[in-house]
Structure 1
Amino acid sequence: MTFDLSRPAPRADAQRSRKRLIEAATSAFAREEAPTLKDIAQDAGVGIGTLFRHFPTREALVEEVYRGELVRLCGRAPVLIRDMPADRALREWMRQWSVFVMTKRGMADSLEALVRSGALTKSETVVLLTEAVDVILDAGRASETLRRDARADDVVAALMGTLIVACSPASSDQAARLLDLLLAGLRVAEHR
């Protein structure tokens, strides 16, 4: 075991402040078009200086929230297939993905800047999504509820296309219908 002695571990209170900031930002970005950093700090119960010590820019905070939420969403795939049949698990995971996308409107400009700068790549997101979908497709193939020829990268591309067309809360009904159509095409014929 090796230890990195170049930087001391963050103090416990600093770790708690960081966690509260991430939680407050996650909530604020989901409910508001453009929450201020001051409001996020206030919601977290810390000063704006504390926010900037942890996240020197708005983009740094957005990146942390986005990555954390994406990892959490992708980590749901194994839980869903444990709790329900693979076809239903896939539909539930697609619903959760659509909610994830629709509630990131307050982060859109910062996410775009992160992609332009290279700090956040679309390929990172696609890899995580593809891995999660593949877990569910594998379970569906094993249970013979989802088509054997279904490819995770194709499903992710279809999901992204769907949510480009219907990406706002106002179009959630259309998104749900499109996701139902996608799932119908993925089910084995006798399970449709």
Structure 2
Amino acid sequence: MRVDAQRNRALIVTAASEAVARDGAYASLEEIARAAGVGSATLHRHFPSRWALLEAVFHDRVEALCARAGELSTGPDARQALTTWLCELAVYSTTTRGLVTSLLRAPQESESCSAMLVTAGEPLRRRAAEEGTVRADVEMIDLVTLVKAIALAAESTSAAEAERLVRLALEGMSPSRR
């Protein structure tokens, strides 16, 4: 990418980050282009859809969540590590304006933020399943979808409420004790 194209892309992502923080995932693309000092065509050349732009806005933040999953994977309690990570994902999604809408609405592609989260959380889920503390039929995509739905529901309340709801929902992932 040429230097001026790289600069324009960075300006667009910065303007979009500010607009999404202020107005949410449906911030005006025209206003973002104007704030970045580029035309609408330039914005669309770099980001062919709203979701592509949102992926760029949230990519670094999602990478941090993915790194956190890696940190937790070495803990002594596999179920606790998975629960902690899912709660942190819910809190972060609830408190980062526009993130949960972006995660729910964006197309599922292998490079998407949602796919990154599923991939990062899978070792936590697999380890807990291998230890028998999570049902074997629970898939990581199900858990991430559950967290996204809870974060969306709690978006107008609080991060604490999102965490409480995730913990409540996760009780259902335990193997039955008959």
**TM bucket, shorter chain:** 0.5 to 0.7
* Superposed displacement of residue 53, structure 1: 1.0
Q: Which runs of 5+ in 2 are unaligned?
A: none
Contact between 2:19 and 2:27, CA under 8 Å: does it hold in 1? yes
Match of 1:69 among 58, 65, 69: 58
Deviation at 1:104, TM superposition (A): 4.7
1:90 matched to 2:86: no
More moved, 171-180 vs 29-38: 29-38
Q: How much identity, in percent, do the aligned residues show?
A: 23
What TM-score does the superposition give when structure 2 sets the normalisation length?
0.62
Distance 2:20 2:74 in 1: 30
Q: Structure 2 counterpart of 1:100, which letter? A: S
Assess, with a 3 A threshold, how the Cα gap between structure 1 residues 122 and 102 changes in structure 2: closer, same or farther: farther
Q: Partner of 2:70 in structure 1?
A: 79
Tell me the amino acid that sits aligned with residue 85 of structure 2: W
Correspondence list, 1:75-154, <5 A = 75-76=66-67, 78-82=69-73, 84=75, 86-98=78-90, 99-100=92-93, 103-105=96-98, 120-121=106-107, 128-141=116-129, 144=131, 146-149=133-136, 151-152=138-139, 153-154=141-142
Larger Rg: 1
- Provide the aligned length of Structure 1 versus Structure 2: 168
Q: Counterpart in 2 of 1:23?
A: 14
Question: In 2, distance between residues paired with 1:150 and 1:80?
Answer: 25
> How far is 1:18 from its partner?
0.6
**Deviation at 1:178?**
1.0
Deviations 1:110-149 (A, max 9, x none): 999xx6xxxx43586665544333221123345x383252
Distance in 2 of aligned mates of 1:21 and 1:89: 36
C-alpha distance in structure 1 between counterparts of 2:82 and 2:103, whole Å: 26
